[in-house]
Structure 1
């Protein structure tokens, strides 16, 4: 039995397959906002 919150190779693969593209896109969008509008990331909120 694996305690909740412990990352395994299998769970890491599943998370990577499901979310890496979205996380990269959020990061790119955040950086563009910072560069173009001189904002910080503290105020950013995302609807999941």
Structure 2
């Protein structure tokens, strides 16, 4: 692929990737350890240990 003339939004790939924090952060008023992001709280020991370190 040649970047010359490629779409500036998708870099000529045809798909634009984006991140929507509202779909990931379940409870923005909470800390990560308290459960702001589903699956990253104390119930998932792997991610919780990463947050503590």
TM-score (norm. length: structure 2) = 0.24
TM-score (norm. length: structure 1) = 0.24
Which of the pair has more CA radius of gyration? 2
